[in-house]
Amino acid sequence: MREAQPNERAVGIDYYISDSDGTGGRLRSRPADFRVRELETGGFEPLSADTDAYPHLVFRVTLENWDTNDFVSALSDRLGMSRERIDWAGTKDKRAVSTQLFSVRAESDVLDDTDLRNATLEPVGRAGRGLGFGDLGGNAFEIVVREADTGPVERITESLRTFGGSGDGDASDGGEVGVPNYFGQQRFGSYRPVTHEVGLEIVRGDWRAAVLAYVGCPHESEPDATREARAFVDSEAAAAGTADWAAALERYPRQLGFERSMLHRLVENGGERSADFRAALETVPSNLQRLFINAAQSYLFNRMLSARLDRRLPFDRAVAGDVVCFADSEAPNGFALPDPDRSQRVTGGRVATVNRHTQRRRAFVTAPLVGAETELGTGEPGDIERAILAEEDIEPSDFDLPGAFHSTGTRRAILLRTDLSIEYNPLTFAFRLPKGSYATVLLREYLKREPTAMR
């Protein structure tokens, strides 16, 4: 193994699996260098279906250099409707060519003559409900790396094949590889990774520290005015007496709407009691409130995976004390997906039996995304989970929180496997990943560059 970049270690990603130097190179030199296509689960009614029974039109969109949220805003403006009537299954990066599903509650002809720059819309069918986040099997990627040194590619691939349990073979063209199923840097903020810090403080019950982590904490990547505003918040919070939240608000740039809304609420309520800071956090949209908690869970998960690597425990097979989940029977054909709702604790007497299933991709070793209803593992895996939670001063019951901050928890596979195809001129990677997994978690093993260069 090889030590990860400092910014990665800050979010719990401690290692590269491969010892080899990286290829270097540049991602996203142009949007077409990063192509992603959703793997659809299907099940839609034909376009001619009764619109009373199936009021949602499902359509496929190919976007070039569009942020998903910006596209939804532009589409809703063009259609003359609220963006709340438009739903989608997954959010994609802007600097890419992405093909993904959307739905809109509307008649079938609503997309006629809809013309948006660098966007191709294709009606697919009708549905009784709008798409929900995660209504997809996964994503297929084709990614070009410019100006790369291809010399290390085979050595890296060999390491990843071994880690994933695929054994020997010709690594020049790829094959099945495996990496720890880390949450990628973008989960926490590629340029200012503080989202998990906010969530951890919320879970610990320190609402004041959570607000300050979000509104303060300047980062070198930010514009001068933003850094100065955050530094003022930090200085006011550290000074004796009551902080001048009104003065902080005056210094904050207008475009930082979420931070300004928190400061507005602190000005209104006085900003002295714990309840004032909780109310400030509740001014942001509920999806951002959930993101704070999800990022905290993701950070703890990453730390558990790094600790498992430290102890040299396998990822492709279970040991006594692990919890495994079984394959999702509704996954797209040929795509093995774990179903966290079908889990089993592995006792010493069951290890061999369970590992026959892991070898056949019918079962997957998991770690917890800790929540209020999480049951921790036993044996050495349980020791890891408890040690990480103790170091962070957190218990599962701490996630029993109000409103959108509440989480019951779930489990997630610790190994990310994929069939990887590699071409060399230019260096191009093609692979498929289950939903919720990150292409950059695989690519980082090859490029070995700072997270900001992986965007």
Report domain extents, the chain. 2-32+138-181+416-454, 42-127, 195-284, 296-413
Q: Which distant-in-sequence residues (6+ apart) come within 8 Å of 17 by Cβ?
A: 1, 159, 160, 163, 179, 180, 445
Q: At 326, list the tokens.
A: 């079984």
Query: What is the predicted pLDDT for the residue at 240?
Result: 66
Contact by Cβ (8 Å): 368, 262 = no
Q: Is 115 a catalytic residue?
A: no
Q: What is the pLDDT of residue 174?
A: 76
Task: Please check whether residue 391 is in contact with residue 436, taking contact to mean a CB–CB distance below 8 angstroms.
Answer: no
Residue 359 structure tokens: 């070898």
Q: In terms of DSSP bridges, do strands 323-327 and 26-27 run parallel, antiparallel, or are they unpaired?
A: unpaired
63, 62, 45: which is closest to 54 by C-alpha? 45
Annotated catalytic residue: which of 14, 33, 87, 93?
Answer: 93
Distance CA 18, CA 10 (A): 20
Walk along the chain (455 residues) and give the pLDDT tens digit of each residue.
899 998 899 999 999 999 999 999 998 889 899 999 988 777 788 988 888 899 999 889 999 998 888 888 888 888 888 877 888 887 787 889 999 999 888 876 777 767 788 888 888 889 888 888 767 878 999 999 999 999 999 999 999 999 998 766 666 677 899 999 999 988 888 678 899 999 999 999 999 999 999 999 998 888 999 999 999 999 988 876 778 999 999 999 998 889 999 999 999 998 889 999 999 999 988 888 999 999 999 999 999 999 999 999 999 999 999 999 998 877 666 667 788 888 899 998 999 999 999 998 889 999 999 999 999 999 999 999 999 999 999 999 999 999 999 999 999 999 999 999 999 999 999 999 988 899 999 999 999 998 877 77
* Domain 195-284 part of CATH 3.10.20.600: no
From residue 234, alpha-carbon distances to 210, 265, 271, 313 in Å are 13, 17, 14, 41
Structure tokens at 400: 């029993």
**What does the pLDDT read at residue 332?**
65
Whole-angstrom distance, CA of residue 220 vs CA of residue 297: 26
On the question of a common fold for 42-127 and 195-284, the answer reads no
Q: Enter the CATH code of domain 296-413.
A: 3.30.2350.20
Give the separation between CA 369 and CA 382, rounded to whole angstroms. Answer: 13
Helix (H, G, I), strand (E, B) or coil at 83: helix
Distance CA 121, CA 410 (A): 35
- Tell me which fold the domain 42-127 belongs to: Alpha-Beta Plaits (3.30.70)
pLDDT of residue 314: 96
